Structure 1
Amino acid sequence: MNDRQTVTEAPSDLRLDVIPVALRPPADTWERRHRRDVVIADHVTTLVVVISAAVLMTGRPGSAAGAWGGLAVFLAAGTTAVCVLGALMAARAWEPRGLGHGAEEYRRVGRALLGTMLLLALIGFAFQLAVLRPWIFVVVPSIGVLGFPVRYVLRQALHRRRRAGHCLLPVLAAGGVEALGELISRTRREPHNGWRIEGVCIARDSWSGLAAWERGEIDGVPVVGTIDELADRVGGGDYRVVALAPDPYWTPGRIQRLAWQLEGSQAEMVVAPMLLEVTGPRLNVSPVFGLPLLWVSQPVFTGAKRVVKDCVDRVLAVLLLLLAAPLFVVIAVLVLLDGGGPVLYRQRRVGREGRMFTMIKFRSMVPDAHLLRTGMAQNNQGAGPLFKLRRDPRVTRIGAFLRRYSIDELPQLFNVVAGTMSLVGPRPPLPEEVEHYDPAARRRLLVKPGLTGLWQVSGRSDLSWEESVRLDLRYVENWSLALDFVILWKTVWAVIRGQGAY
């Protein structure tokens, strides 16, 4: 057991009291404020789009629309606004637990807007109201086009406050020592999720057989008592979340009794399953024989959802190629002026199910750069089997700029159109890298490699090999269209910052 997870015996004079609630500002203040901001933003966005559309449709006073036509438009506008706001409420898009957490927040908004479109279509079909057509196919999607970025801005403001140590829910965790150490590490690594573990409780068996008491903590978090005392520690009102980490102590009866004891408190109980990297739509809880069982569906690598993903990938890739065509010409000229040589660089990569394909990029290195790599192996700064140098002498002047902002990867859009790559997916590996893959890393090859991915928006080359594999596997196991769009949106900001690109 390493130092981070060492738990030692408590001396008799040690106080196992938690942080007094008077010393901490109430957590629900910022929660109410953030929820209020989101609700106001959604109302304002909906009303701005709907009113603007109504004004454009009715035109100037005295236009051909007429009084009755104008009345019909404004009735349609009111119906659309009510349906959108009602659907957001029904989809729990304003529930505090869903705000600021992963792709689920955007998925709920997407479901609400899609439900609104279907409801308006049914109303239009039932009453033969042709006036609703533009509201279904133009106005409601426009609310999403404006509403998603507004939500993103509010969410990023919340995440910045959380990274600064504010707007975090105080958590009391209880369970096994190793599981608690892993949970503490994850909450610190990803503060944007909004947890701060301020105390831990462990089983009495964990006190025995260990070294003499030094600090009474796990990874810097104080041990405030044993699991038997968990309900008493929560009773002071200091914690908003009680997280149960895996431990043999937790039997169904004990968890049920703890849930009863927590009734009436402000704390929510969260049970952390062993499947830490399986999330989202693959998890479902349903009762069997009166027991709440966690059902884990298999990841989907084929079928209708993948066909939809392929179609979306290719359509967006074609649109991006058309928009970027003038930029391609400028870059090609700059690459030619910076030392000559071919404009494009072709390299064999390993794609889905181990199939080889040729990936194309703008050339960012001197010609025949691969021949110069042999003498640089001892200076490798890449993680795992990757070869990377922060200041690679083979990179040209224009190449350094292209790499910093990932512009050299734009020709991979042609690979997306050809079907060998996806817009979002794991990093496309080299054949020599795949030779060193363990069975876990090989699961990256179950899907097409991507032009961007979780690795791209989480630090790129600054990531360790283990973290890079973990992020790619998280994507492979939990893919969804909503997650793809979130990653694409985050990629824009990751590219602008240029962090981890070299």
Structure 2
Amino acid sequence: MCRGAHAAGSKLAEGRCARVGEIWPCGEQIGGAVGYAGAFVKKADTRVRKAPLLVSKRRSARDWPSRYARRLVYSDFAVLAAVFVVFRFAALPFENASVSWVGGPEIPYWALIVAVILLWLVALSVFDTRDRHIVGNGTLEYARITNAGIALFAVLVAVAFFLRIEVSRALLLIALPVGTVALILSRWVWRQWLRRQQRSAKYVYRAIVVGEAAKASHIIGAIRREPGSGFDIIGVVTNGRAPALIEGVPVVGGLSTAVEAMDAVDADTVIFAGADELSPAVMRRLGWAIADRDANLVVAPALTDVAGPRIHSRPAAGLPLVHVEYPVLEGYRRFAKRAFDIVGSAALIVIASPIMIAAAIAIRVDGAGPIFYRQSRIGRRGQSFGMIKFRSMIANADDQLASLLDLQGTSDRPLHKVIDDPRITRVGRFLRKHSIDELPQLFNVFLGDMSLVGPRPQREAEVALYDDAAERRLLVKPGMSGLWQVSGRSALSWDDAIRLDLYYVENWTFTQDIVILFRTVRAVVAPGESAH
């Protein structure tokens, strides 16, 4: 027989069972697999268990989203106050000490600034920028902050127009954009702090996954691929045909004892992965028991890699139906992305011109050969174009590629990367590590062959190896940077790279492009070991 773990909240030893009182019987080792609690109970117990009393320390640990949101309120106020203090003394003439309008009183300018700060804080709340489900993860938090700033701008313009208030244009054209950027930067700083806490198993949801073994394995793998998800998977509740461990996570109970398993491991979140044995009536009763424990209920659909803006819930006939929109990068979205590429690439060409001149001189001094390297790549909808780079390899390096790929046994894979490539020059190694060799691609972006952000352009021979899924990379223009470039670069496998590229294609947003560019700057400044 297996041994039990009797104290609530204690960690379960690997391959062992736990029990709560006499309700949760332990199974025996059968067929080489360690049995788990309740796995062999034939009939599910659908009674609603009485919620255990939570001690203050446990309740405080579970209440981290509310505490984190309160800190964001204080942080937002401090950021806005600092921005407007600087604005008052740097951009606003001191003779404009008051503001007035026709038929209204004259009020000091500081009162107007205080009112704008309070309205901004209200807008941040109205747009749910501190919602527990979005803070600390994804781009939706940043998008809502931007929308709140745009809405405040529209309200101030309308009020000033209808009341004929003489408001400084610097307030609308300088203070509001700077304040929005400052808020986004402050949230990013908070997010880095939250990541450090989560790496120490703090400020996370202690979750168990309930469902069939294969579905639970899929959910655990998807969550673990994203370190900032905020979920710490501490157990799996599944049927009696499962092993003792699923993706390294112990099985802590059977489907008939899900509530007891939740109490035993002190979980505050239950993730339903789906199981045929769980009828709608049992699911509803489990939901009641979870609600009585002040815990979180999460339903994980089989459809993954879908971003939040594409998901819409629509209740119908008592069913919480989930609608998933198809990605659309046409019309005004395509125009906005192209306009951003033109303006951004032109500005970056001017800013990076001293670096490009220095790189060209270094390549010429390092040895014979052309400064630039031009190669045919496949772009949007399969159209080829000439991609420009600084030469980082010896002359005629392409002639050696096939033999090097055959030597390391990767000639049949789409992601052609030669490990410890002997063709790279001394200067080229430095240029590659800091992505300086790719700066000439700014001209490709300006001319319309590429975008600042998108899937990495590949050779025709690599595209010929694509399957149906990889073909969807060609729905958008290739980019200088992308999700997989800022998520591991050369250390990623082809499967991980294609997954990230497809996620970008399926879930494009303008905010996501901004975030990727920001992460690109960070990856270039601190390239790490994966850059070569």
Deviations 1:301-336 (A, max 9, x none): 312112111111211111111111111111111111
Q: Distance in 2 between matches of 1:271 and 1:66?
A: 56
Q: Is the 8 A contact 2:96 2:109 kept in 1?
A: no
Pairwise CA distance, 1:263: 2.2
**Structure 2 residue aligned with 1:310:** 338
**Structure 1 residue aligned with 2:380:** 352
Q: Distance in 2 between matches of 1:68 and 1:26?
A: 47
Q: Distance in 2 between matches of 1:311 and 1:105?
A: 24
Q: Distance in 2 between matches of 1:248 and 1:14?
A: 21
**Are 1:54 and 2:85 an aligned pair?**
no
Q: Distance in 2 between matches of 1:256 and 1:447?
A: 43
Q: Distance in 2 between matches of 1:289 and 1:14?
A: 40
Pairwise CA distance, 1:80: 1.6
Q: Distance in 2 between matches of 1:92 and 1:85?
A: 11
Pairwise CA distance, 1:26: 5.0
Q: 1:355 to 1:57 in 2, by over 3 A?
A: closer
**Are 1:154 and 2:190 an aligned pair?**
yes
Pairwise CA distance, 1:351: 0.5
**Structure 1 residue aligned with 2:527:** 498
Q: Is the 8 A contact 1:113 1:144 kept in 2?
A: yes
TM-score, with length taken from structure 1: 0.89
Q: 1:310-389 residue pairs with structure 2 within 5 A?
A: 310-380=338-408, 384-389=413-418
Pairwise CA distance, 1:220: 2.6
Residues 179-188 or 329-338, more deviating: 179-188
Match of 2:141 among 83, 102, 105: 105
Q: 1:388-399 residue pairs with structure 2 within 5 A?
A: 388-399=417-428
**Structure 1 residue aligned with 2:159:** 123
**Structure 2 residue aligned with 1:402:** 431
Q: Distance in 2 between matches of 1:7 and 1:353?
A: 54
**Are 1:65 and 2:96 an aligned pair?**
yes
**Structure 2 residue aligned with 1:195:** 231
Residues 141-150 or 422-431, more deviating: 141-150
Q: Is the 8 A contact 2:62 2:268 kept in 1?
A: no
**Are 1:301 and 2:295 an aligned pair?**
no
**Are 1:450 and 2:479 an aligned pair?**
yes
**Structure 2 residue aligned with 1:3:** none
Q: Is the 8 A contact 1:424 1:488 kept in 2?
A: yes
Pairwise CA distance, 1:58: 4.8
For the residue of structure 2 that corresponds to 1:367, the secondary structure is coil
Q: Distance in 1 between matches of 2:373 and 2:59?
A: 56
Pairwise CA distance, 1:496: 2.2
Q: Which runs of 5+ in 1 are unaligned?
A: 1-5
For the residue of structure 1 that corresponds to 2:386, the secondary structure is strand
Pairwise CA distance, 1:163: 2.9
Q: 1:277-296 residue pairs with structure 2 within 5 A?
A: 277-296=305-324
**Which one has a larger percent helix, Structure 1 or Structure 2?**
1
Match of 2:73 among 39, 53, 56: 39
Q: Is the 8 A contact 1:422 1:448 kept in 2?
A: yes
Residues 128-137 or 480-489, more deviating: 128-137
Q: Is the 8 A contact 2:97 2:108 kept in 1?
A: no
Pairwise CA distance, 1:416: 1.0
Deviations 1:342-400 (A, max 9, x none): 11111111001101111111111111111222332233486932222232111111100
Pairwise CA distance, 1:248: 2.1
Q: Is the 8 A contact 1:170 1:196 kept in 2?
A: yes
Q: 1:164 to 1:341 in 2, by over 3 A?
A: farther
Q: Is the 8 A contact 2:237 2:254 kept in 1?
A: yes
Pairwise CA distance, 1:167: 2.8
Q: Is the 8 A contact 1:446 1:476 kept in 2?
A: yes
Q: Distance in 2 between matches of 1:185 and 1:319?
A: 41
Q: Distance in 2 between matches of 1:66 and 1:35?
A: 35
Q: Distance in 1 between matches of 2:413 and 2:61?
A: 41
**Structure 1 residue aligned with 2:3:** none
**Aligned residue pair count:** 484
For the residue of structure 2 that corresponds to 1:148, the secondary structure is helix
Sequence identity, in percent?
Answer: 37
Deviations 1:390-416 (A, max 9, x none): 321111111000100111111111111
Pairwise CA distance, 1:101: 1.0
Q: Is the 8 A contact 1:237 1:265 kept in 2?
A: no
Deviations 1:209-262 (A, max 9, x none): x7xxxx733223222222222234335682221100032234444433332232
Q: 1:119 to 1:66 in 2, by over 3 A?
A: closer
Q: Distance in 2 between matches of 1:40 and 1:140?
A: 19
For the residue of structure 2 that corresponds to 1:293, the secondary structure is strand
Deviations 1:65-90 (A, max 9, x none): 36668955323312221121111111
Residues 477-486 or 7-16, more deviating: 7-16
Deviations 1:65-119 (A, max 9, x none): 3666895532331222112111111111122322111111111211111111111
Pairwise CA distance, 1:32: 4.7
**Structure 2 residue aligned with 1:258:** 286
Q: Which runs of 5+ in 2 are unaligned?
A: 1-14, 18-25, 39-52, 101-105
Q: Distance in 2 between matches of 1:153 and 1:379?
A: 45
For the residue of structure 1 that corresponds to 2:486, the secondary structure is helix
Q: Distance in 2 between matches of 1:94 and 1:464?
A: 35
**Structure 1 residue aligned with 2:117:** 81
Root-mean-square deviation over aligned CA pairs = 2.8
Q: 1:166-245 residue pairs with structure 2 within 5 A?
A: 166-203=202-239, 207-208=240-241, 216-234=244-262, 238-245=266-273
Q: Distance in 2 between matches of 1:419 and 1:35?
A: 42
Q: Is the 8 A contact 1:335 1:343 kept in 2?
A: yes
